[in-house]
DNA sequence: CGAAATTATGAAAGCGCATCCAAGAATCAG
DNA sequence: CTGATTCTTGGATGCGCTTTCATAATTTCG
């Protein structure tokens, strides 16, 4: 099985290498007879074009670099899947770089400097590989402004915020507002919120959505209904306990991720609050387990697939310098399940 | 920002392109003075080597193709992470192809022919990209013998079985036996099993482990304790109900995945069985949610990361034709949590 | 039927780099 | 100081392909 190239094909088919190239790529008209002859030899010799050589000459690799901060984090695979769908449709290849931040710098991603070196080295490798653009997938929707220099190659960030480059992120504020509206529609007025850490942009945006709803729907604004968690299960548990021991506990709580909502469920059970009868709960993220809990949690589904797909769409626009499409911000969608009911009559 | 190559460097540093190449790769001694001069120009011109050209000439791409049947399935990201760890350590790159079987052929992967074309096209693309080897990640640990022809390039399968090529899979039988041993050690004798579909190799292997334990520990063998589920939550629910309505219900049940175990929990709650007091449960897979349930499920953790890492290790051995290492079969590890207790005195 | 228009093919250059072959510069032994 | 030895550098080739420029084959049509 010796290496067979365009040259061998040409020789055996009695044509020039140019002709072989033309039939291979359909770049130029070739007489049907000649074409057939070449094709036959290609078949016989089981020829497979060498994309490396092709790329060197044509200066196109049809390859996109994808940098994921950590593929093991729940949101990432679905985003990658969206990227893949686009790639399949457009005959693009994906080189995946997994920064493995989780393992390398732990869970504190707030200090961008701590992992910039990994990101930069990843970008550098990708540029050497001649990718035509880069998609950067964060694991927390936080601010990564000025993270890496791509030396002119287009880059699109997703699942994180940046103001120097393009970034695709769902509408956090809207999602939060929508959840509130859903609760209000069912008659709730005393609605608490368990937020994530406030150093995170989406926490602030989601809080904005909450506050906007409070104002717009003229809900009672009770500072004690506002709790700041740390995204972890224990803080959900702890803060829910605080909420439920209030003289006038809320009838519903908006929890900024499903993990904390698990804590909420536990706390409610311990305090003798039945969900949703005594307390309605809306989560965020639509984690798989939210459907396995008892009750099944009503939660905000994130448009992850769309974010991946859309990132690629924008990116290829940048690459080909075609008309920059109007970016439509992907929207979250509330998944109705069992953790919300109207408030009890008092 | 015009393209700068080795040639421009050479010109500006007053050396030949050969010399530049030598300092770049350290392939040959270069006088420190010359070296420094070249390095300085490289710095100044912000030169970045072109891996495409490099690969064409050197005939090495340092690139491994990874084919995942579906990246959104729970086991895959962790395997990829293991692959990445190895790749990082050995300066290898990963081209990821996501077959997206989930979306393209639904959940029935038993008919290999249904998706062979996708696999073959993926392999073909990867070979054109001149990958040095391929890792194939299944989503069900099933038999994929003879799936694709790689035309001589090494391929390693993981999370699936094949007997024509190398495949890395954890020891299913052992895992099942270990779980049984754990239960027996705590005093259980009447142990039921809820298996997955029997068309799957691991189901059979795990059943073997169960049966081996029954024999070895001289447990009562009750055919009614053997239930065949379909991996889904409902079947776990249904079969547990059947188990619990037996005249002499089991004191423990080994459930072949955590999803079905969720059904077990629900059924037990409905039947007034308290877990673990009235029924001990051991799951499989260590899904994230198994730690969020009430009680937290004791489950078999799969060595996914190790499988990825190990696959790469074996694969690079194949590529470099070094001594083929003795394959050590990765082992599952029981995660003790709250769903197992000694049986009640009767 | 023959010249012009059209279509099909080839020869060769070169993408950016690694590396072989040879030669020049520096160093050393005596 | 000279020839032998070692260290350092360059010229040139080619990896497998695309593409330009030029030429040959075929068709069109007056």
Give tens-digit pLDDT for B245-259.
999 999 999 999 999
Residues of chain A with CATH 1.10.260.40: 6-49
Q: Which helix (H) or strand (E) holds A67?
A: strand A63-68
Shortest CA gap B184–chain A (Å) = 29
Is the Cβ pair B124, A48 closer than 8 Å? yes
Interface of B with A in 41-80 (CB under 8 A): 46, 48-53, 55-56, 61, 66, 70-72, 74, 76-78, 80
Instruction: Tell me the CA distances in angstroms from B185 to A205, B178, B179, B182, one per residue in order.
Output: 53, 10, 10, 5
Q: Which of A33-37, B162-166, B271-275, B337-341 has the lowest mean pLDDT?
A: B162-166
Test the A interface: residue of B1, B255, B289 with most A CBs within 10 Å: B289
DSSP H helical ranges for chain B = 6-13, 17-25, 32-44, 51-58, 76-89, 101-105, 113-128, 172-185, 201-216, 233-244, 258-270, 304-320
| Residue A135 pLDDT exceeds 80 | yes
Query: What is the distance between the alpha carbons of residues A303 and A270, in angstroms, rounded to a whole number?
Result: 34
Q: Is the model's pLDDT at A242 over the cut of 70? A: yes
Nearest beta carbon to residue B95 from set A80, A95, A124:
A95
Task: Count residue pairs from A and B with Cβ separation < 8 A.
Answer: 133
Q: Are B72 and A77 inside 8 Å of each other by CB?
A: yes
CA distance A216 to chain B (A): 36
Contact (CB<8Å) A71/B81: yes
CATH 3.40.50.2300 in chain A: give the residue spans: 63-170+303-331, 172-301
- Average pLDDT of chain B? 92
User: What are the structure tokens assigned to B175, written together?
Assistant: 């895992």
**Token pair for A228:** 């700041």
| Structural domain B61-170+303-330, CATH architecture | 3-Layer(aba) Sandwich (3.40)
User: Hey, what's the torsion of the CAs at B22, B27, B28, B32, to 10 degrees?
Assistant: 60
CA distance A5 to A48: 8
pLDDT the model gives residue B325: 67
Give CATH superfamily name and number for B6-49.
lambda repressor-like DNA-binding domains (1.10.260.40)
Distances (CA, A) of A229 to A226, A235, A253, B342: 10, 5, 13, 37
Distance CA A170, CA A159 (A): 8
Give, for B64, the enclosing helix (H) or strand (E): strand B63-68
Q: Given a cut of 80, is residue B323 above it in pLDDT?
A: no
CB contact under 8 A, B88 and A100: yes
CA distance B318 to A171: 48
In terms of phi and psi (left: phi > 0; alpha: psi -120 to 50; beta: otherwise), the region of A274 is beta
pLDDT (mean) for B333-342? 96
CB A160 within 8 A of CB A315: no
**Domain topology for A63-170+303-331:** Rossmann fold (3.40.50)
CATH 3.40.50.2300, chain B: domain bounds: 61-170+303-330, 172-301
- Of A13 and A324, the structure prediction assigns the larger pLDDT to A13
Question: Any idea which fold A172-301 has?
Answer: Rossmann fold (3.40.50)
Contact A112, A147 (CB under 8 A): yes
Residues 15-34 of B with CB under 7 A from strand D: 15-19, 22, 28-31, 33-34
Q: Can you give the pLDDT at residue A346?
A: 58
**Which of A46, A85, A289 lies closest to B289 in CB terms?**
A289
């Amino acid at each position: 099985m010796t290496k067979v190239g365009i040259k061998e094909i040409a020789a055996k088919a009695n044509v020039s290498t140019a002709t072989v190239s033309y039939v291979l790529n359909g770049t130029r008209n070739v007489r049907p007879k000649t074409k057939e002859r070449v094709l036959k030899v290609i078949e016989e010799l089981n020829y497979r074009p060498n994309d490396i050589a092709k790329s060197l000459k044509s200066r196109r690799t049809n390859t996109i670099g994808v940098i994921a901060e950590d593929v093991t984090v729940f949101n990432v695979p679905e985003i990658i899947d969206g990227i893949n769908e686009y790639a399949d449709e457009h005959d693009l290849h994906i080189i995946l770089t997994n920064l493995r931040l989780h393992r390398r710098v732990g869970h504190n991603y707030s200090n961008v400097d701590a992992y910039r070196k990994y990101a930069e080295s990843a970008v550098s490798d990708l540029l050497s590989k001649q990718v035509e653009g880069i998609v950067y997938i964060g694991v927390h929707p936080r601010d990564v402004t000025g993270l890496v220099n791509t030396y002119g190659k287009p880059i699109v960030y997703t699942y994180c915020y940046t103001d120097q480059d393009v970034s695709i992120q769902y509408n956090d504020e809207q999602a939060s507002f929508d959840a509130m509206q859903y609760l209000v529609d069912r008659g709730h007025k005393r609605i608490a919120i368990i937020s994530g850490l406030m150093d995170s942009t989406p926490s602030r945006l989601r809080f904005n959505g909450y506050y906007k709803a409070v104002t717009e729907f003229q809900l009672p604004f009770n500072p004690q209904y506002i709790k700041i968690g740390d995204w972890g299960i224990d803080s959900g548990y702890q803060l829910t306990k605080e909420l439920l021991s209030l003289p006038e506990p809320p009838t519903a709580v908006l929890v900024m991720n499903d993990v904390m909502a698990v804590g909420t469920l536990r706390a409610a059970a311990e305090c003798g609050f039945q969900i949703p009868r005594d307390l309605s709960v809306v989560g965020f993220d639509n984690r798989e387990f939210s459907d396995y809990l008892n009750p099944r949690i009503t939660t905000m589904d994130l448009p992850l697939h769309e974010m991946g797909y859309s990132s690629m769409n924008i990116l290829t626009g940048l690459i080909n310098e075609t008309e920059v499409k109007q970016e439509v911000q992907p929207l979250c969608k509330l998944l109705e399940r069992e953790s919300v009911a109207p408030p009890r009559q008092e």
